Amino acid sequence: MEADVEQRRSSRGDADECPYGLVPEAESELFASLRRSGQRQKAEHYVKGLLETPGRKTLGHIAAHLGGPAAQQSLHHFISESLWEWAPLRHALARQARMLLGHDAWVVRPMVIPKAGAHSIGVDLQFVPHLGRAVNGQQAVGVWLASERSAVPVEWQLVLPRRWREEPLRSRARIPAGVRADCLEECVREATAQAARGAGPRNRPVIVDARGADAVAIARRLGADGHQFVIRTEPATRLSVDRSVLPAYGARERGAGELVAHLGRMRTPAGPGPDRPTASVIPVVAPASVHGGALRGLRLMGEGGAPGGGADRLWLTNATGVAASALLRLTRLSDLVARDAVDIGDRVGLRDFAGRSFSGWHRHITLASIAHFATVLATEPSPCATAACKAA
């Protein structure tokens, strides 16, 4: 990893002056909520360990790299037993990532974390829709600030299967009484709300790629919170044509995939070049449910596919004034997040916490997200970050 970083830095000319890791101003801001100097020092050391420790970034491996058994006891207390709050660090991370790297959208994606045993927080045998099988492990929902160049995770929610929401595991894991996190839809809503509070008033569209989740339920929640959204949906999602826009079509409910196939003549080019992508954009209404009345002002976007056939990917959006080509560019950010979650996230330990503590998982993944941000700054610095380095 270090060789790759040095090679990329050496190709950037003046950017070599920027030291590997966080610029001082960013580091000071990120840890400002930790009032005690000892806590700030431990947080900085933990991030350093995440960046430098080879292999899995467990507490034991990080402690061994940083100083042995004494360090392990100190780090265990800092991560799993201490009382510092992770939300202010995440909010500071969102502000710094937005300021130094910019962003085009929030991208919300689940992350599957396979585990060998059953004792780590949130572990259970869980069906993973995009894999088509059950996996023993954790499911988390991450919110990433994403641009066409880079992505940084700034908020996390951990899905809690039933056995973890009930006694005795709930008490053993010290899960707060008000925490539900019982499904992907609830975690998407809560994670997005927390991320938006942390990053400030600048609004950006929310791209949700959570296959298997209820796209209409997520649309209701994000719409009610005032978000512009693009949500990946399934072919079976029940929708009907919005006859206030297309009065010639029937109002019968159909699956999203069937609608796109039935209205294949609405497919149009959505980009330049001979191999330009195509998209069908259909005004639709989501039916009433126990959660609320019919949901209007939506468009179903079927991406790619052959004329007269189905679509490669289906998206539900309330961004009615945005061109299909622009929406497709935004959806590509989800692929970038998937790439960075592996290429960078796995190297800094996003999936590596092994422990029963609910707060420990959140503190570890918060500091791993900061390590992810430091790696992005070191390998893909923006002009703002480079200027901050030179001024330091």
The full set of domain ranges for the chain reads 2-215+334-391, 229-318
Query: By percentage, how much of the chain surpasses pLDDT 70?
Result: 87
Q: Is the pLDDT of residue 4 over 50?
A: no
CB atoms within 10 A of CB 262: 16
Q: Mean pLDDT in the chain? A: 86
Dihedral of the alpha carbons of 26, 29, 34, 40, in degrees to the nearest 10:
30
Identify the residue with better confidence: 24 or 144.
144
Predicted local confidence at residue 109, as pLDDT: 96
pLDDT on residue 265: 77
pLDDT for 305: 67
Under the banding of pLDDT at 50, 70 and 90, the label for residue 384 is: low
Whole-number pLDDT of residue 17: 38
Q: Which residue has the higher pLDDT, 16 or 214?
A: 214
Is residue 136 within 8 Å of residue 118, measured between CB atoms?
A: yes
User: Taking residues 170-199, what's their average pLDDT?
Assistant: 90
For residues 88 and 33, the answer to whether their CB atoms sit within 8 Å is yes
In this predicted model, what pLDDT tens digit does every residue of 300-343 receive, in sequence order?
999 876 555 667 899 999 998 899 899 999 999 999 999 999 99
Query: With bands split at pLDDT 50, 70 and 90, how would you rate the model's confidence at 14?
Result: very low
On whether the CB atoms of residues 238 and 294 are closer than 8 A, the answer is no
Per-residue model confidence (pLDDT) at position 321: 86
The pLDDT score that the predictor gives to residue 190 is 93
Task: Identify the band that residue 364 occupies on the pLDDT scale cut at 50, 70 and 90.
Answer: very high
Please determine, for residue 3, whether its predicted confidence score (pLDDT) is greater than 50. Answer: no
pLDDT of residue 278: 83
379: how many CB neighbours lie within 10 A of its CB? 19
DSSP per residue over 8-62, as a string? Answer: HHHTTGGGGGSPSS--HHHHHHHTTT--SHHHHHHHHHHHHHHHH--S---HHHH
Predicted confidence at residue 20, as pLDDT, reads 45
pLDDT of the residue at 12: 33
Give the number of C-alpha atoms closer than 13 A to the C-alpha of residue 81, restricted to the C-beta side.
6
pLDDT confidence of residue 158:
97
Answer yes or no: is pLDDT of 288 > 70: yes
Confidence of residue 196 (pLDDT cuts 50, 70, 90): confident
pLDDT tens for 234-243 read 999 999 999 9
Say whether pLDDT at 294 is over 50. Answer: yes
Amino acid 274: pLDDT = 61
Side-chain half-sphere of 344: how many Cα atoms within 13 Å?
23
At 275, the pLDDT band (50, 70, 90 cuts) reads: low
Question: Would you say residue 7 has pLDDT above 80?
Answer: no
With 90 as the cut, is the pLDDT of residue 254 above it? yes
Tell me how far apart the alpha carbons of residues 358 and 157 are, in angstroms, rounded to a whole number. Answer: 11
> What average pLDDT does range 46-63 have in this prediction?
94
Does position 352 have pLDDT exceeding 90, yes or no? Answer: yes
- pLDDT for 198 equals 74
